[in-house]
């Protein structure tokens, strides 16, 4: 357990803002990849089975990685773990753009699945470190419901706008 519990209000707000941004990026990344899988599959000439395998590997790695990273978050410096995870996750995610076939895309999505799965467990641990117990439920709501609601509204607004690009 860490000794950095219940930080000052400015650092609490800063941490919540940073976590909100990280969780929003994680959420947008998952949605964006779901939208881009078909065009990527067409460009890389992947079969539906291969595309399904990539999606499945990502989901399994995300699901298995989350409790593993939570385990390490309880036993290490959470901010450092989140920083390293975010940096490597970003690098591996960028490598997805250089995929030349099934195996390179599969391996990059495997890495992204494991590394991005740490955002919520580490975030929840940091909430316990930085946010007083009486405000933690509202802070947690900000990380989950408000991120998804904000992005949902943004996508509805964009769908309602006329398409200028034909």
- CA dist 164 to 39, 156, 157, 158, 160, Å? 21, 16, 14, 11, 12
Domain boundaries, given as residue ranges, for the chain: 9-129
Greatest extent of the chain over all pairs of C-alpha atoms, in Å? 56
The Cα–Cα gap between 138 and 144 comes to 10
Helix (H, G, I), strand (E, B) or coil at 75: coil
pLDDT at 87 over 90: yes
pLDDT at 58 over 60: yes
Label residue 149 by pLDDT band (50, 70, 90).
confident
Q: What is the pLDDT of residue 164?
A: 47
- Four-point Cα dihedral 58, 64, 65, 70, nearest 10: 150
Q: What is the CA radius of gyration of the chain?
A: 18
Determine how many CB atoms are found less than 10 A away from the CB of residue 96: 19
pLDDT at 156 over 60: no
What are the residue ranges of helices labelled H in the chain? 9-44, 48-73, 78-96, 102-116, 119-130, 136-141, 147-160
């Amino acid at each position: 357990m860490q000794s950095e519990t219940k930080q000052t209000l400015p650092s609490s707000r800063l941490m919540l803002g940073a976590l909100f941004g990280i969780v929003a990026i994680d959420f947008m990344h998952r949605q964006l990849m779901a939208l881009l899988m078909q065009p990527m599959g067409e460009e890389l000439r992947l079969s539906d089975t291969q595309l399904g395998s990539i999606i499945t590997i990502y989901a399994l790695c995300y699901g298995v990685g989350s409790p593993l990273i939570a385990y390490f978050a309880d036993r290490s410096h959470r901010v450092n773990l989140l920083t390293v995870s975010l940096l490597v996750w970003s690098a591996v995610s960028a490598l997805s753009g250089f995929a030349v076939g099934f195996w390179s895309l599969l391996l990059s999505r495997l890495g992204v699945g494991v590394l991005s799965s740490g955002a919520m467990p580490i975030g929840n641990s940091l909430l316990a470190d930085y946010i007083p117990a009486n405000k933690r439920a509202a802070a947690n709501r900000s990380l989950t419901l408000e991120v998804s609601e904000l992005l949902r509204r943004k996508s509805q607004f964009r769908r309602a706008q006329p398409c200028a690009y034909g």
